[in-house]
Amino acid sequence: MAKWHKAVAEDGFQKTFRFAHRRKEIAIFRLEDGIFATDNSCSHEYSPLCEGMIVDGDVYCPKHGSRFDIRTGAVKDFPATRPVKTYEVKVEDGFVWVKA
């Protein structure tokens, strides 16, 4: 069952943060309307999405350019065909928490 994990201070990152949790990495994104989290690994060939370019709420994979909706994990451009997992996020006591 998923539990809340303290990931990073709310003011401890600018646009992205790589949160290592157990054997996986979660990418935390700061958008204009809030903070969101997805698997850090691109569903195509596992490149780190937290290093990608962010445009209008989407992240472009730094390796081959697949585009994912940060809020839903949906694929918007090839070559990836599978979405990335998203995680619930909350901000509490000055920290970003991720449910994973």
| 95-99, strands of its sheet edge to edge | 4-9, 95-99, 86-92, 34-39, 24-31, 16-21
Stretch that binds ligand FES, among 1-9, 17-25, 32-40, 59-67 (CB under 6 A): 59-67
Of the two residues 57 and 65, which places its CB atom closer to ligand FES in the complex?
65
Using CB under 6 A as the binding criterion, the count of chain residues that bind ligand FES stands at: 11
**Contact pick of 16, 40, 66, 86 for ligand FES (by CB under 6 A):** 66
Q: How far apart are CA 31 and CA 85, in angstroms?
A: 17
Beta carbons of 68 and 59 less than 8 angstroms apart: yes
Which residues contact ligand FES by CB under 6 A? 42, 44-45, 47, 61, 63-66, 79-80
